[in-house]
Amino acid sequence: MMAKLPGLGPRSARRAVLHLIRKRELQLTPLADLMVQVAATARECLNCGNIGTTDICDICNNPKRANGLLCVVEDVADLWAMERAAVFKGRYHVLGGTLSALDQIGPEQLRIPRLVDRVETEEITEVILALNATIDGQTTAHYIADQLEDRTRLTSLAQGVPVGGELDYLDDGTISAALSARKAL
């Protein structure tokens, strides 16, 4: 079972299992208890798709974050990444993946209708498309942009050189994006 976790091969899984069995009292039992508890309480926020313990998550419930900004992300992991950066003070909408004809994932599977709903019913002044800069992410961003056009202001994260980035290690695409989006000092 452990070997089925992402990022864990058969060998690391065996090591983890042995470690847990040796630390039965200190780690195995508490971890098992925690897992039972999470299995019983974790649920997706009915509004945005974030994971929490209540029907409406803490971010959606926070009145300070109702500032009209809505940040669309692919996954809860991306929401956490944005929260770690601690610069975004609005609310989120988690799609739960990207559009993919191959995997038969259409808008209905992705909480996109709910997004259109929210833009129409909540007072949203700007939707920030913070999808990954991958092909799937950008395809999905284009689809959403089509759906929301004329309903709200749409923006996307800037593309360019990452902080700490050295030109010599960057791919051609990033260099040309950074060059064409260059800014006056």
Question: Which residues here bind its own copies, judged by CB under 8 A?
Answer: 73-75, 77-78, 80-82, 84-88, 128-130, 132-134, 137, 141, 145, 153-168, 170-185
User: Taking the complex as a whole, how short is the minimal distance between the CB of residue 68 and its own copies, in angstroms?
Assistant: 15
C-beta closer to its own copies: residue 57 or 71: 71
- Please, which residues have CB within 8 angstroms of residue 3's CB and are 6 or more apart in sequence? 9, 10, 13, 14
Of 32 and 179, nearer to its own copies (C-beta) is 179
- Shortest Å, Cβ 131 to its own copies: 8
Three-state SS at 153: strand
Between 20 and 174, whose beta carbon lies closer to its own copies? 174
Dig out the tokens for 86 from the structure. Answer: 């601690």
Nearest alpha-carbon partner for 146 in 181, 107, 118, 180: 107
**Cβ at position 178, least distance to its own copies in Å:** 4
Q: Which amino acid is at 68?
A: G
β-bridge partners, 128: 71, 155
Q: Taking the complex as a whole, how short is the minimal distance between the CB of residue 56 and its own copies, in angstroms? A: 24
* Residue nearer to its own copies on the CB measure, 17 or 152: 152
Which residue, 25 or 168, is less far from its own copies as judged by CB? 168
Say what the alpha-carbon torsion angle 141, 144, 145, 148 is, to the nearest 10 degrees. -160
Shortest distance, CB of residue 39 to its own copies, whole angstroms?
Answer: 24
Residue 91: strand pairing partners: 70
Of the candidates 130, 179, 181, the residue with the CA atom closest to the CA atom of residue 157: 130
